[in-house]
Structure 1
Amino acid sequence: MATPFNSPNWHWERLGYTVDRFRRRGGGRLIRIVRDPHGRVVLHDASYEEEMAYISSLNDDAA
């Protein structure tokens, strides 16, 4: 299945970042960890809004 256009995952793939997902202790929703192309953690369990703000700042820096 293709990543939906303009979703956070689409942006991360386009920028060369990876997203790791881990199950929380005791179940519940997944924790997302976003890593830059060098493997450094840049976001840990961020909200959709936080992810999109970070992506926007990356795009602003590239302009």
Structure 2
Amino acid sequence: MDGEGAGEAATRSEATIKATVIYQPSDLERRQEVAGGLDELVRGARAKAKDKPSGTDLVRDA
């Protein structure tokens, strides 16, 4: 911010606040989308793992 006047700093700050408010709902939507995708991945991995013996089962049977 070298050489920047108070007015320029205030304008930049206002723009940052406005952008934060505008993008906040989309950020929430994106986090929900990512969480949903992770949930699908975990559920799929757990379903696949049901068909295979666990590491504990393999050691016990050794």
Judge same fold: TM > 0.5, yes or no. Answer: no
Structure that is richer in helix per residue? 2
Higher strand proportion (structure 1 or 2): 1
- Give the alignment's TM-score, normalised by structure 2: 0.28
* Bigger radius of gyration among the two: 2
Name the TM-score, length of structure 1 as normaliser. Answer: 0.28
Q: Which has the higher contact order (CA 8 A, sep 6+)?
A: 1
